[in-house]
A = this chain, B = another copy of it.
Amino acid sequence: MSTLSLKAILLPFAVLGATLPAQADEGQWQPYQLPQLKSELKRIGITIPAEKLADITKHPMNTIVSLGGCSASFVSTDGLVVTNHHCAYGAIQRNSTTAHNYIANGFLAKTRAEELPAGSNQLIYVTDKVENVTDRVLKGLSASLSGRERSEQVEERIKQLIAECEQDKDYRCTVPSFHRGLEYYRIRQLMIRDVRLVYAPTESIGNFGGDIDNFEWPRQTGDFSFLRAYVGKDGRPADPSPDNVPYHSKDFLVVSAEGLVNGDPILLAGYPGRTSRYKLPVEIRFARDATYPKYVAEATADLDVIAQATKGNAEWGVRYANVVKSINNGLKKTQGLLDGFNRKDIAAIKDSQDAEFRQWLAKQPDTAKNNALMADLDAVIAADMALSEQQSAYNVATSSDLLRSARTLYRLALEQQKPDAKREAGYQQRDLSFIKARLSRLEQSFISEVDQARWKAALQRYQKRAAAEHPPALDALLPNADAIAGLYQKSELADTAKRLAWIGKDADSMTKSDDAILQLAIKLNDVAMSLENRRKEVDGNLERVIPQYMQAVIAWKKSQGKPVYPDANSTLRVTYGTVAPYSPRDGISKGPFTTVEGIVEKTTGKEPFDSPKALLDAIKEKRYGGFRDAALGTVPVNFLSSADTTGGNSGSAVMNKRGELVGLNFDSTYESVTKDWYFDPAITRAIHVDIRYMLWVMKEVDHADNLLKEMTIKYPAKKK
């Protein structure tokens, strides 16, 4: 493959700019793409001009922020940010004590002075610049490079692009790839590091239904809370300090208390994490038949081990509650994926799309080149899958939280032997504070005995894996299951202060230490690096081949009149859709709205279905506070839309046709889970909390009048 052919692929960007109708509701669009979808946006009833939406420095896109893993938006000029309750959960938790249990009771700062530090993990990123840097990343790469060399050269160029950008210390910059390496954009984000908790309803509102209702509909969850961005007196990001002042967010979303009705169009903007919409059928089968079933088996076994190990010890149970919650969440999602694959043969759908594509490709010029491309693609993907199996097995074999910490520390020491610019991404100077936070945070969910039990069981499961999955040379280095207790006894890494003390120490002093876990990490380094380097080789090859494939796919879609959006990659995206019910099975329709009466219906008084008395009273007395929906006759709580979302879209602003805030995204239905692979418009629905419920809770239950006053709320015209 010559660089020329790659360049040729990169030239016709017009492909992405075609103004042709998109397939309804599917797509996580880069803002700049929206003018391509003009007629589609108009068709569903969006009145805000596509050109305006396309400019991330203009309203409303300049109000959409990232919390790193969650999305949010500004709702006042004073840096007030609204997001999900579950996105601010860490901030609520860290401020909660037995005396002031803000999880159980909610929290409301009546004045700015009462706002509480959200903690060092709570950052707000404001995207302010997006540049296409594809040329600077890819131009002139030699065709003769190995996969690893290519990967490393691309990595180095990206690091250079980031370093340039981060000259201004107020910013955090990233250069993610789009279309699996076809394009690269440099994204500059103002990183606000003094964030405070302003308001969160009680967990029995914010997490009503808890894990039981997770991914489910009907849903009646008030999954919202408010944070505020603070900066130094100079208006620039600053370390947390009482002297800081609210960030001046000159643009913010106007809130529409009018809400929506069934069929209304919506816009949704946020930072979706990952999707895999352009994977090949073989990759889907690999996930369906290998990755997911193995994950389910591992997670199920791990949950059993945790349950056994923490049994009868309430404190240990609490320590692992979040771990269990997170595994359960992953398990439910993966089970949903498997159920979905079972319900609809997505691989077969992809087969027929793939066949259609290949037929089209066969009719294009350069047959020999195209054939070679497809053969190359198949080979690279086969290598990717085989390596993934070994990486996954390696993770199982080394699944000790303590060992992972040791690995991080040693790897950091090795990288610090190089000049900063040459260090592996993730181990540079700019990453140190994150590493430190991660190594520090471990203590919140770590008990040595439980960690040992989990690792021991995982090691035994690893031994039963097929030989081809075992990474070369690993088995001989692994401890015997019975030796694990001894290793932990001879390690001090479980002590947070001692663990953190290793940060920045050199590799030599580690080699000399008698910490048994650290010694094991050093011993495993060759295997780990070998896997990492093989990953770079495979990734380099993927990044070489996939973009050519994607280029062909884009051309094929263009021939059908369809623009193409890149897979989600945690960058700012816009999706749109309509408020819509769906039919999970014949004879049943779900949604689009739930109502406050549904809360009463579900309330049992037992967590997660316990509701505050003030809320139940307001419902029983029909104190709807002006937020009654005419069609429903009551206050709506959650609603469904056909918008295209994924993890990372939590907290995303749901806007009406004029770009006014009408809700927050917080989940999607169980039947939708397979959308990460294939967007089925018939059943894919995102779950949003209705702005009217938020405003109603603020007014009737929590009396957050200060915030209601601070926001700009458009109330519907009073009916006679």
Contact = CB atoms under 8 A, between A and B. Distances in A.
A590 interface: yes
A218 interface: yes
A716 interface: no
Contacts of A587: 217-220, 590-591, 593-595, 598, 638
The DSSP consensus for interface residues of chain A is mixed
A188 to B, nearest CB: 42
Given A585-B598, A588-B588, A589-B589, 20 more contacts: A218-B585, A218-B586, A218-B587, A218-B588, A220-B587, A581-B589, A585-B601, A586-B594, A586-B595, A586-B597, A586-B598, A586-B601, A587-B590, A587-B591, A587-B593, A587-B594, A587-B598, A588-B589, A588-B590, A589-B590
A585, A586, A594 pick with most chain B CB within 10 angstroms: A586
A220, A587, A638 pick with most chain B CB within 10 angstroms: A587
Contacts of A589: 581, 588-590
Nearest to A585: B601
Interface of A: 217-220, 581, 585-591, 593-595, 597-598, 601-602, 638
23 contacts: A217-B587, A218-B585, A218-B586, A218-B587, A218-B588, A219-B587, A220-B587, A581-B589, A585-B598, A585-B601, A586-B594, A586-B595, A586-B597, A586-B598, A586-B601, A587-B593, A587-B595, A587-B598, A587-B638, A588-B588, A588-B590, A589-B589, A589-B590
A219, A585, A588 pick with most chain B CB within 10 angstroms: A588
A175 B18 CA distance: 80
Contacts of A217: 587
Contacts of A218: 585-588
A220 B586 contact: yes
A590 B581 CA distance: 12
Contacts of A219: 587
A602 B586 CA distance: 9
Contacts of A220: 586-587
Contacts of A593: 587
A592 to B, nearest CB: 9
A589 B581 CA distance: 9
A598 B217 CA distance: 20
Contacts of A597: 586
A602 to B, nearest CB: 8
A693 to B, nearest CB: 13
A619 to B, nearest CB: 12
Contacts of A588: 218, 588-590
A129 to B, nearest CB: 42
A228 to B, nearest CB: 33
A590 B590 CA distance: 8
A219 B585 CA distance: 11
Nearest to A218: B587
A598 B581 CA distance: 18
A66 B416 CA distance: 91
The 10 closest A-B pairs by CB, nearest first: A586-B598, A218-B587, A587-B594, A589-B589, A586-B594, A218-B586, A586-B601, A588-B590, A586-B595, A218-B588
A212 to B, nearest CB: 15
Nearest to A591: B587
A602 B217 CA distance: 21
Contacts of A601: 585-586
A394 B44 CA distance: 69
A218 B588 CA distance: 7
Nearest to A589: B589
A598 B586 CA distance: 5
Contacts of A585: 218, 598, 601
Contacts of A595: 586-587
Contacts of A586: 218, 220, 594-595, 597-598, 601-602
Nearest to A219: B587
Nearest to A639: B587
A119 to B, nearest CB: 35
Nearest to A597: B586
A597 B587 CA distance: 10
A593 B585 CA distance: 12
A595 to B, nearest CB: 6
A594 B588 CA distance: 8
Nearest to A638: B587
A219 B588 CA distance: 10
A688 to B, nearest CB: 13
A344 to B, nearest CB: 11
A595 B217 CA distance: 23
Contacts of A594: 586-587
A178 to B, nearest CB: 37
